[in-house]
């Protein structure tokens, strides 16, 4: 089962103004072939379908725990897109005849404004919907681990490219963090493959070869030791991760790899503004007050 915590894995900066162009680029990191929806669903179905769980327990636990982290990555990327789209992009009018969404006409990611109410959608940067065709779950442990290693390397390439496309602070906070955490997963799968096959996959890392320390927003997470940590994302289960995740860090600053109980400390989930011209969420101030009064909760008004 999954247990949900109402926090993001990190704190996200809030852009002062909407940045739809950056949001459109980040969509690739959500619903692209190498996006977080792909890493999540690959590992999730592999963990569901894993055979001989007891006999191969450490490898099952590795894929299962990374699955849980990827669920949070999907949430984090979606929220980054949302904060980049937060606020009015046009004249702010609530009169539809004033064409308040005119500026969206010139944007390549119109899907964020039409399919979504200025929010993330399960699609890539071109608006192509994410598909289960991106999921690989062969049932063969080595095959699946090799695929996962490749998937993390491909995902890293796309994060590096998006990082270089935009100086948006939220986008860079996201990509810097994911560069470090994705490297953790690539190392984990490399170590698992070496345990099974004897092949030292670590010699290939990092792919691409540019080190995380060259990215300021990634370097700060490595300086904090995030590259050393593999989280269990569980209260009591997945106790055998240290059979694989152990020893000195093969990439990044020196240190010993460690399995961390529970989850990251995380940060607050953004409370997005109303966008009346998008009918999102579709309530006026009086309706908010009425719902708050009737259901007896604090609406923050």
At residue 299 the predicted structure's pLDDT band, cuts being 50, 70 and 90, is confident
Average pLDDT of the segment spanning 15-41: 97
pTM: 0.96
At residue 50 the predicted structure's pLDDT band, cuts being 50, 70 and 90, is very high
To the nearest whole number, what is the mean pLDDT of the chain?
Answer: 96
pLDDT digits (tens, 9 = 90+) for 106-150: 999 999 999 999 999 999 999 999 999 999 999 999 999 999 999
**Known binding site for Ca(2+): residues?**
234
What secondary structure, in 3-state letters, does 9-68 show?
CCCCCCCCCCCHHHHHHHHHHHHCCCCHHHHHHHHHHHHHHCCCCCCCHHHHHHHHHHHH
Which residues are CB-contacts of 150 (< 8 A; sequence separation ≥ 6)? none
**Known binding site: residues?**
36, 70, 73, 152, 185, 234
Which residue has tokens 């680029």? Answer: 25
pLDDT of the residue at 226: 98
How distant is the alpha carbon of residue 9 from its chain centre?
A: 9
Cβ atoms 25, 210 nearer than 8 A: no
Q: Is the pLDDT of residue 300 over 80?
A: no
pLDDT digits (tens, 9 = 90+) for 218-268: 999 999 999 999 999 999 999 999 999 999 999 999 999 999 999 999 999
> Would you call 139 helix, strand, or coil by DSSP?
coil
Asked whether residue 87 is domain-assigned, the answer is yes
Asked whether residue 1 is domain-assigned, the answer is no
Asked whether residue 14 is domain-assigned, the answer is no
Same domain, 240 and 298: no
pLDDT of the residue at 175: 98
pLDDT digits (tens, 9 = 90+) for 70-79: 999 999 999 9
- Alpha-carbon gap, residue 228 to 245, rounded angstroms: 9
Same domain, 230 and 90: yes
Which residues are CB-contacts of 55 (< 8 A; sequence separation ≥ 6)? none
**Known binding site for Mn(2+): residues?**
36, 70, 73, 152, 185
Asked whether residue 8 is domain-assigned, the answer is no
pLDDT digits (tens, 9 = 90+) for 154-186: 999 999 999 999 999 999 999 999 999 999 999
pLDDT of the residue at 270: 96
Same domain, 297 and 235: no
Assigned token pair, 269: 């989930």
Same domain, 285 and 215: no
Asked whether residue 157 is domain-assigned, the answer is yes
pLDDT of the residue at 63: 98
At residue 298 the predicted structure's pLDDT band, cuts being 50, 70 and 90, is confident
Same domain, 285 and 177: no
- Alpha-carbon gap, residue 50 to 56, rounded angstroms: 9
At residue 92 the predicted structure's pLDDT band, cuts being 50, 70 and 90, is confident
- Can you name the residues that pair with 129 across neighbouring β-strands? 123
Could you tell me the CATH number of the domain that includes residue 28? 1.20.1260.10
How many domains does the structure of the chain reveal?
A: 2
Asked whether residue 232 is domain-assigned, the answer is yes
Helices (H), ranges, the chain: 20-31, 36-49, 57-84, 111-114, 141-165, 169-197, 216-223, 285-295
Range of the domain at 66: 20-96+105-270
């Amino acid at each position: 089962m999954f247990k949900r915590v109402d926090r993001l894995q990190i704190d996200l900066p809030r852009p002062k103004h909407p940045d739809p162009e950056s949001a459109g680029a980040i969509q690739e990191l959500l619903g692209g072939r190498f996006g977080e929806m792909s890493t999540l669903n690959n590992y999730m179905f592999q963990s569901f379908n894993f055979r001989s769980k007891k006999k191969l327990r450490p490898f099952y636990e590795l894929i299962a725990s990374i699955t849980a982290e990827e669920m949070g990555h999907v949430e984090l990327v979606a929220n980054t897109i949302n904060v980049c789209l937060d606020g009015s992009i046009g004249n702010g009018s609530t009169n539809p005849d004033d064409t308040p969404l005119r500026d969206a006409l010139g944007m390549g990611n119109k899907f964020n404004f039409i399919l979504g109410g200025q929010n993330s959608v399960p699609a890539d940067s071109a608006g192509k919907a994410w598909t289960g065709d991106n999921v690989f779950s062969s049932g063969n442990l080595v095959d699946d681990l090799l695929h996962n290693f490749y998937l993390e390397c491909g995902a890293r390439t796309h994060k590096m490219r998006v990082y270089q496309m935009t100086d948006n602070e939220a986008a860079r906070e996201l990509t810097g963090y994911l560069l470090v955490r994705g490297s953790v997963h690539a190392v984990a799968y490399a170590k698992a493959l070496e345990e099974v096959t004897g092949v030292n996959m670590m010699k290939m890392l990092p792919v691409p070869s540019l080190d995380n320390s060259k990215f300021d927003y990634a370097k700060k997470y490595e300086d904090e030791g995030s590259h050393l940590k593999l989280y269990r994302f569980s209260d009591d289960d997945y106790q055998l991760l240290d059979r694989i995740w152990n020893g000195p860090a093969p990439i990044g600053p020196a240190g010993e790899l460690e399995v961390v109980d529970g989850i990251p400390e995380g940060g607050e989930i953004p409370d997005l503004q109303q966008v009346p011209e998008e009918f999102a969420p579709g309530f006026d101030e009086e309706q908010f007050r009425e719902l708050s009064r009737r259901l007896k909760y604090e609406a923050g008004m």
